[in-house]
Amino acid sequence: MRFLHTSDWQLGLRRYFLDGEAQARYAGGRFDAVVRLGELARAEGCEFVVAAGDLFESNQVDRRTVLRALDAMAAVPVPLFLLPGNHDPLDAASVYRSADFTAGLPDGVRVVTGFDPVEVRPGVEVAGAPWPTRHPRGDLVAEAAAALPPLAGGVRVLVAHGRVDAGAPDPDEPALIRLEAVERALAEGRFHYLALGDRHSATRIAERVWYSGTPEATSFDEERPGRALVVDLEPGSGSAAAGSSAAGSCRVEERRVGAWRFLAEQRRLGGGDDVLDLEGWLESLDDKTRTVLRLSLVGQLPLHARVRLDEVLERAGERFAGLELWEAGSDLVVVPDALDRDELGLGGYARAAVERLLSESQGDPHDPETAAARDALALAYRLARAGPERGHPARGRPARGSA
């Protein structure tokens, strides 16, 4: 038996660092990912798809998001099981209870609302541990396992959401999934695979316990986003320790489905050549309209190199889906040199003003007034270099958080 494991679609998600046009494409890309999941299920010969929670960003998503989600789900050619998670729990305000959702639910799509298993075909079942609220008071997987009788000679998939206790930052969190209880339930044959959601990176916890990760990247700290899992389960001869021949076989393979990527890059800059290297790297990246960058820049630059850097980043900000200069990870200092002073070629009042800025820029590079003087120098350099015959300096959306 083969099925597809996915989770954390986060439909309706907004990213603050994307502007209106890029945000609209990013939101649309998440619906496209659902359609690709259906195409993957068909291509891989999957019998059904389980979606392990957080399919919507919240229960307060707008009507358009709900209707577009239903259209995307309708494109999935096999039965699709939806599990409410912590972002979209099955509470009184649940999106899964809304009139728009229930009226438009496609044939073959089923919301898991309780622990009772559903038969996909004889010998194949899906059960779930849906979140009834955003703050459950216990281990929902353990509760579901206790309610499920052992299934011999068949296979049962349990769909759940949340963090496992191994390595959890708060080991006393009541909703943590206790792996000891999971292993015991697997050994007893209460389920044969635990399909988890919540972690956005595809992650193996145990042979039969996996997080699928999100089908589209959502942040810079995800290690393996943009994936879904193709799972093959074969029934064993009866209850036995998970992983033994009597328990049957389990094989899990990752498949790439995401189109967007979030890249974080740190660069040390010491001069114009380093700026050129950064420019070359930015040029080398493909699919710029679906790439979001976060740059951390450290080091020292002369004024003319800083101006060139600003131009490079301004241009990149127009071409990539998003470009963020991460202030917390950056420490870039501008140090005016003799070349900068000579290239300005100013006289009179303008030269006196620049000389004053040069003096004020020699202090502590982390002092706000010193930094402001260096920013003003960079602007003066750029304006002077443009000159009246060249008109205004290049315009465009500056990179957010520009150094």
Q: What would the pLDDT profile of 322-336 be if each residue is shown by its tens digit?
A: 999 988 888 887 776
Pairing relationship of beta strands 209-211 and 203-206 according to DSSP bridges? antiparallel
Q: How far apart are CA 17 and CA 23, in angstroms?
A: 9
Residue 59 gets which letter from DSSP? Answer: T
Q: 72: domain CATH number?
A: 3.60.21.10
Handedness of CA 178, 179, 182, 183 (dihedral sign): negative
In a domain, 38, yes or no: yes
Q: Does an H or E element contain 231, and which? A: strand 227-233
Cα 358-362-363 angle, rounded to 5 deg: 135
Please give the Cα distance from 284 to 293 (Å, whole number). 13
Range of the domain at 382: 261-390
Q: What are phi and psi of 364, to 5 degrees?
A: -60, 120
313 vs 51, 102, 193, 323, CA distance in Å? 39, 47, 47, 8
**Domain count of the fold of the chain:** 2
Q: Mark whether 222 and 267 lie in a shared domain.
A: no
- Tokens 């074969």 belong to 234
Q: pTM surpassing 0.75?
A: yes
Domain endpoint, select from 256, 286, 316:
256
Q: What are phi and psi of 211, to 5 degrees?
A: -100, 135
CA distance 36 to 127: 24
Listed residue (23, 22, 107, 14) closest to 61, CA to CA: 14
Asked if 143 and 230 sit in the same domain, the reply is yes
Interval 371-398: pLDDT, tens = 777 677 667 666 665 555 444 333 333 3
DSSP code at position 2: E
pLDDT in tens, the chain (403 residues): 999 999 999 999 998 889 889 999 999 999 999 999 999 999 999 999 999 999 999 999 999 999 999 999 999 999 999 999 999 999 999 999 999 999 999 999 999 999 999 999 999 999 999 999 999 999 999 999 999 999 988 999 999 999 999 888 888 889 999 999 999 999 999 999 999 999 999 999 999 999 999 999 999 999 999 999 999 999 876 544 444 445 689 999 999 999 999 999 999 999 999 999 999 999 999 999 999 999 999 998 888 888 899 999 999 999 999 999 988 888 887 776 655 555 555 556 666 666 676 666 666 666 777 777 767 766 766 666 555 544 433 333 334 433 3
Give the integer Cα–Cα distance in Å for 195 and 201. Answer: 13
Residue 396 placed within a domain: no
Residues 117 and 185 in one domain: yes
338 located within any domain: yes
Question: 3-state DSSP call for residue 135?
Answer: coil
Q: What is the dihedral of CA 369, 371, 373, 376, to 10 degrees?
A: -130
**Residue 335 and residue 190 in one domain:** no
